[in-house]
Amino acid sequence: MENIQNFQILWFVLIFILFTVYALLDGFDLGIAILLPFLGGTKEEKDTLIASIGPVWDGNEVWLITGGGALFAAFPHAYATAFSGFYLAMMLVLLALIFRAVSMEFRANDPARAGLWEKALIGGSALAALLFGVALGNVIYGVPLTGQMEYAGSFFTLLRPVPLLFGLTGLAAVCLQGACWAVMKTEGALQERSFKAVKKLLWINAITAVIYFLVLVVTFPRLSSNILFYVAVWLTYAGLIALYYSLGRKNDTAPFAESSLSFIGLFLAAGALQFPNLITASNNPQFSLTIYNSSTGLYTLQVMAVIALIGMPVVIGYTVFVYRLFKGKARTDNHY
């Protein structure tokens, strides 16, 4: 029994890491798209912004696919409950990601309707970022579940104040990631505009983070004795404070790392609160899906651990290779 619990904890941590890395990497993709009309003053500047994410955005989604696959294999009951109960919300996320993907291609190859495709890119990215946060907020805040591990609410059950706060906090963090990426990848007037956007978004994130942490402590008093929560708060504000000083020095490389540190802090607070739950039951805590009552068998968890030991370095190596290959300032001499 102790052996299987060790693997269940291991897979909770691994899935948390996979989704956190996805949020960091695809976060700046979504952020760039959301900020496109605010940062790009001309078509050429918008092309530069899109070119900055063009070589990497689809590779970033490998982390989402890997995280979803790991959740399905390690905790199939939680996966089934989430994807069946949140079906409409999941379809909206999927449609948003599809529109985000195809609109970049159509914007470049359908000049007559480029404005329409640009709006689809912006809207799809903003909707995806918001709904990802709302989904995370719901599994943590709790949703009504039956004794058969089935969702007992409706689509509108998901749109409550606390989950929406998660969505807005995540949306602000994604926009900050995008602006910091633009600072690192652009030059001239476009970079100056990106610096100004980071300054504004820094204060917005500082405010949303305060509200986020306060609501978590008030809603879940047990967090006050969780050391990881205080580590999360420290990481969040350490990143934001370091970012503030980097902006004063006009450093164009450090802001992205500092924004990422702040983002990790927000995620760590959620992970510290959620463990060992996967989906919290708001109507009866005994109905909650945890890593212990919704996992697959020991043998599967062991086999998956071996696969992860082989596969994770490959994914990490691929990611590092791609980012090193396309490092430096963005160029528009491609089809994006």
Task: With CA atoms as reference, report the closest residue to 49 among 331, 254, 251.
Answer: 331
Q: With a cut of 90, say whether residue 245 has pLDDT above it.
A: yes
Which residues pair with residue 279 across a beta bridge? 289
Q: With a cut of 60, say whether residue 240 has pLDDT above it.
A: yes
Query: According to the model, what pLDDT value does residue 59 have?
Result: 81
Q: Using a pLDDT cut of 70, give the percent of the chain over it.
A: 98
50 three-class SS: helix
pLDDT class of 279 with cuts at 50, 70, 90: very high
**Least confident residue range of 178-187, 300-309, 325-334:** 325-334
β-pairing, 277-279 vs 289-290, is antiparallel
Give the chain's mean pLDDT: 90
Query: According to the model, what pLDDT value does residue 329 have?
Result: 87
Torsion region of 35: left, alpha or beta (phi above 0 gives left; psi -120 to 50 gives alpha)? alpha
Residue type present at position 183: V
Q: With a cut of 60, say whether residue 1 has pLDDT above it.
A: no
Query: According to the model, what pLDDT value does residue 334 have?
Result: 52
pLDDT class of 164 with cuts at 50, 70, 90: very high
Distances (CA, A) of 80 to 71, 73, 76, 149, 308: 10, 11, 6, 9, 22
Which position has the higher pLDDT, 40 or 332?
Answer: 40
When pLDDT is averaged across residues 60-85 and rounded to a whole number, the result is 88
Decide if 28 contacts 60 (C-beta within 8 A): no
Query: According to the model, what pLDDT value does residue 333 have?
Result: 61
Q: With a cut of 90, say whether residue 185 has pLDDT above it.
A: yes
* Single pTM value for the model: 0.92
Query: According to the model, what pLDDT value does residue 332 have?
Result: 67
Q: With a cut of 60, say whether residue 148 has pLDDT above it.
A: yes
Q: With a cut of 80, say whether residue 19 has pLDDT above it.
A: yes
Q: With a cut of 90, say whether residue 104 has pLDDT above it.
A: no
Distances (CA, A) of 229 to 248, 263, 265: 29, 14, 9
Q: Using a pLDDT cut of 90, give the percent of the chain over it.
A: 60
Which residues pair with residue 88 across a beta bridge? none
Taking the C-alpha atoms of residue 324 and residue 326, their distance in angstroms, rounded to an integer, is: 6
Query: According to the model, what pLDDT value does residue 234 have?
Result: 96
Query: According to the model, what pLDDT value does residue 2 have?
Result: 61
Q: With a cut of 60, say whether residue 284 has pLDDT above it.
A: yes
Q: What share of the chain is helix, strand, coil (3-state, %, to 5)?
A: 80, 5, 15
Query: According to the model, what pLDDT value does residue 55 have?
Result: 86
Q: With a cut of 70, say whether residue 258 has pLDDT above it.
A: yes
Query: According to the model, what pLDDT value does residue 325 have?
Result: 87
When pLDDT is averaged across residues 165-186 and rounded to a whole number, the result is 96
Q: What is the pLDDT of residues 219-233, one digit of tens each?
A: 999 898 999 999 999
Q: With a cut of 90, say whether residue 111 has pLDDT above it.
A: no
